[in-house]
Structure 1
Amino acid sequence: MERAGFTVLAPDRPRRPPSWEAEVDHLAAFLPSGHRVSVVAASNGCSAAVRLALAFPRRITRLLLAWPATAGDPEADARVRRHLTGLGASERTIRVLVAGRTLRGVSDGEASRLAMPVGLLPSVPENRNHQRATVDALRRLLPHSEELPGCPEPPRPGFAPHLDRFLTSVAGFLRPEGQA
C-alpha cells in the first residue's frame, strides 16, 4: 500500500484483550493526532475496527472489512469458545468476545449506525470462519457499503496469486474516484 502512495500504520492488536473496548483503547492510541484515517481490518479485527469507527466516527473516513469473521454460527462460535477457554479466558470474557449476531462484539444495531463508506471483501472460497452469509448480512445492515472482489485470506496458500488484485481493490476503495 505504501507503493500506492498510502501512509501505512499497522499496529499489532493486543495479545489477549479482555474486551473489544480494550482493543479500541489500544488501537485509538495509534490514531494520528489531527488526521482522519481509513481503516483496513481482517477477520476478527473487523470487530475491533467497527468498534473503533463507532467510538471515533469523525476520525475514520473509510472502513474496509476484509474476510469478516462469522459470528452467530453455533459451530464457529463453539470453536472460538474452546480456543479462548484453552487460553485461560474467563467465561465472562468469552461471553463478551463471542457475543454478536453478525460480527462478534458488535450488535447489528450498532453496526447499522456506521455512516462512513464501508468496503466488504468476502473470503472466496468461503470457509467456516469467514462465511459468505456474514458479508451478505453486513450488506443488508449497511446499504451504503460496497462489496469488493473476494479472494482467499492470507496466510492461506491460495492467497498469493490474488495479492496484486487485492491491493488494487483496496487502494481503489481507499482512494475514491477522482482523487490522486
Structure 2
Amino acid sequence: MAVILVHGGLWDRTDAAMFWHAPGIVAGLEAVGLDVVAPDRVRRPVDWRQEVGELGRLLTSAAEPVTLVGASNGCTVAVLLAADYPEAVGRLLLAWPATGDDPEVSGRARAGLLERGASGAVADGLLAGETLRGVTDAQLVSLGEYRGPWRPGLPIGVLPSVPENPSHQRKTVDALLRLMPSAVELPGSPEPPRPDFGPHRDRLVAVLGAFAGGGQAGR
C-alpha cells in the first residue's frame, strides 16, 4: 500500500524533511511495510491550484489507489487532490487540520504571509475558504458521499491536534466530521514539528499504518 504524506506549512520554511522525516514518521511507516512518498510542497504558491498541479503527477503515476495524508495546511491540498483524482485516492486522512474560518487566526496568518513576501491578493486567495482554506464546505460534503455499492464514499479519517491550539482548533475537526458523516475521528497528537511530539511518534505511526491498511484505529 502506497502512502503519500503532504506536509503542513504555508509560505514558510516547513518541508517534508522537517515535518515527516526528522520526527521519524516516514521511517516508522516504512518499518511496518508501507511504501511512503513524502514530497515537498511548492514553497511559495500563488494559489492552491499550483500545488495541486505539482503533486497531481504523483497520483497519475501511481500503480494503485493510494492513502493520501494531508497535514495542517496540507489538508487543503489533499482534499483538492482527492477531488481531482478520485480514482487514484483510495483513502484520505486529514491530520491536524488548519482552522480556516476564524477571523483572528486568518488575520494573523495574513500578516505572516505579507511579512514573508506574499502580495495582498495572493494572501487573500490562499486564506479564502470555509472550514478549510481554499475549499468550500460543499466540496467536503461531496468527498464522502455514498454513491451506491459500485462506488462507495471515500474512506476518510480526521486526526485532531491534541491539545488544540489557535491554528488547529477542535471546532475544525468537529465541522469536518459534521460535513462528512462517513469520516471517522482518529486518536490525536501534537503536530510533528512541535517539540512535544516525540513521545507520540509510535502511536501516530500505528494510527496511520492501521488507517492505510484499511482499519480505523479509532478511539
Shift of 1:176: 1.4
Aligned to 2:47: 19
* Equivalent runs, 1:53-72 vs 2, <5 Å: 53-72=82-101
**Aligned alpha-carbon RMSD (Å):** 1.1
Structure 2 distance, partners of 1:169, 1:154, is 14
4+ long deviations beyond 4 Å: none
Q: Per-residue displacement from partner, 1:132-170 (whole Å, max 9, x unpaired)?
A: 000000000110001000111112122111111111111
Q: TM-score, normalised by structure 2?
A: 0.78
Shift of 1:94: 1.3
The residue identity in structure 2 corresponding to 1:30 is: L
* Equivalent runs, 1:75-114 vs 2, <5 Å: 75-114=104-143
Shift of 1:88: 2.0
Structure 1 distance, partners of 2:95, 2:86, is 19
5+ residue gaps, structure 2, are 1-28, 145-153
Going from structure 1 to structure 2, the CA distance change for 1:151 and 1:33 (only over 3 Å counts) comes to closer
Structure 2 distance, partners of 1:165, 1:129, is 23
Aligned to 2:102: 73
Q: Per-residue displacement from partner, 1:93-151 (whole Å, max 9, x unpaired)?
A: 11210011110000000111113111110000000000000000000011000100011
SS at match of 1:41: strand
Q: Per-residue displacement from partner, 1:8-64 (whole Å, max 9, x unpaired)?
A: 111100110111110000111222344211111110000000011111111100011
**Does 2:149 align with 1:150?**
no
Q: TM-score, normalised by structure 1?
A: 0.95
Structure 2 distance, partners of 1:114, 1:105, is 15
How many aligned positions are there?
177
Identity of aligned residues (%): 51
Q: Is the Cα contact below 8 Å between 1:11 and 1:30 reproduced in 2?
A: no
